[in-house]
Amino acid sequence: MITSERRDASTARVPTVEQGQAIIVTRYEEEKAVIVNPVDFHRLEALDTALEQLALGDRPEMSELALKAHRLEDDPGEPIEDPEAIKALLSA
């Protein structure tokens, strides 16, 4: 996620950037910052948020009915451990 910080224009000398353009500020050939038009920035920010929501959608609610399904189907019942009963089952 992109976090943003607001600064007054008088505290930094930033050129005007046209929509659709980006100015990459470098120092010793390394990219240090990118200046973009506010419209582009907000579009990117919105895309980032949309992507986050798409990739990590809301978790479905664990409903009472789903919990009941787990109670009914997850817990072992009474196991058959009588050898005669097991033999009878296998020979049926």
Partner 1 sequence: MAGSVRWAVVPYAPSPPFRLYAGPDHAPIVVNDVDSFIAAVRKQGGDAEHTYLVSGKARPVLVLNEPPSSYHQEVTALRLLRLSRLTSTEQAHVRRQADELLFYLPPDRFDLPEENAAIVSALVRVHIGSIESRPALGRLNENEMRVLGERIIRFYQFDTRLLVEKRIKELAAREPR
Q: How far is the CB of 72 from partner 1 (least distance, A)?
A: 5
CA–CA gap between residue 37 and residue 44 (Å, rounded) = 11
- The reply on whether position 73 binds partner 1 by CB under 8 A is yes
Task: Confirm if 25 and 34 have CB atoms less than 8 A apart.
Answer: yes
- The reply on whether position 42 binds partner 1 by CB under 8 A is no
89 CB contacts (<8 Å, ≥6 apart)? 80
Q: Determine which residue in the list 55, 83, 84, 91 makes contact with partner 1, applying CB under 8 A.
A: 55
Q: Determine which residue in the list 52, 85, 86, 87 makes contact with partner 1, applying CB under 8 A.
A: 52
